[in-house]
Amino acid sequence: MEETDNLATYFGRIYQMRYLSGIVAGLQTETDEIGYAAAYPIPEVNRGINAFTLGVRKGNPKANVYVEWTQSWTGEAEAGEAAEKLLDEHNIDVLTLHTDTNRPLDVAQERGVWCIGYNMDNTALYPDTFLTAPVFVWENFYEPHILECLQGKFSGRHYWDGAETNTVALAPLSSNVKPGIAREVEAVREKFLSGTFDVFYGPIRDTDGTVRIREMETMTDSEMLNSFDWYVEGVITDAD
């Protein structure tokens, strides 16, 4: 999309927080099998799955992430069925999601499985199973940019803000998270803040073992936003 003087678009680099939540999952799991209920295989969702899995494997190189597609953003029945299938067919002890329904978190609680949410800190709703969640902190974006508009300083551009602006964050780790994990997460978060690290720095291989991102290279924003149609090592989809 071309930039224009009277239009601004915005999103957050939530994949960075997916990566951090993946570190939590990788260090929390005892079975090395993690479930991911996801809506559609589009670049946004694939980006999150891959970032999460890279985080998982940073903490636990032996772990795999099993993905089940719901083919719906909001369908509770579809999301519940995806979660149940993941837990029935694999020895999963941590479950996460990229849907707009919390039904997979309900299933995790019902079956005594650790869960990682999305968009909200739902520790209070799932006190026995909730670990953390990637979340947006939109007030940190809205307030300064609304002020710019009020001051006549609007600038038409595309914003894709990351951890350094605190537009995206990881919800506080719950008391269910194992000791020591918070320290590992914070060390990587500091690298995001300093700009010395981002998720898709090479070398990174796909599920066939092919190097997709070479050492000392990184994906472009355009590639991440528009053409992420492959999965990193450790991802196992329901089509496999």
Reported as a single tens digit per residue, the pLDDT across 90-145 is 999 999 999 999 999 999 999 999 999 999 999 999 999 999 999 999 999 999 99
For residue range 174-214, what is the model confidence (pLDDT) as tens digits? Answer: 999 999 999 999 999 999 999 899 999 999 999 999 999 99
- The domain 9-237 is placed in CATH, from the list 3.20.20.70, 2.60.40.10, 3.40.50.2300, 3.40.50.300, at 3.40.50.2300
Domain ranges of the chain: 9-237
Amino acid at 220: T
Closest CA to 229 of 13, 47, 35, 12: 47
For residue range 20-74, what is the model confidence (pLDDT) as tens digits? Answer: 999 999 999 999 999 999 999 999 999 999 999 999 999 999 999 999 999 999 9
pTM of the model: 0.95
Largest CA distance in the chain: 57
Q: Is a pLDDT exceeding 60 seen at residue 240?
A: no
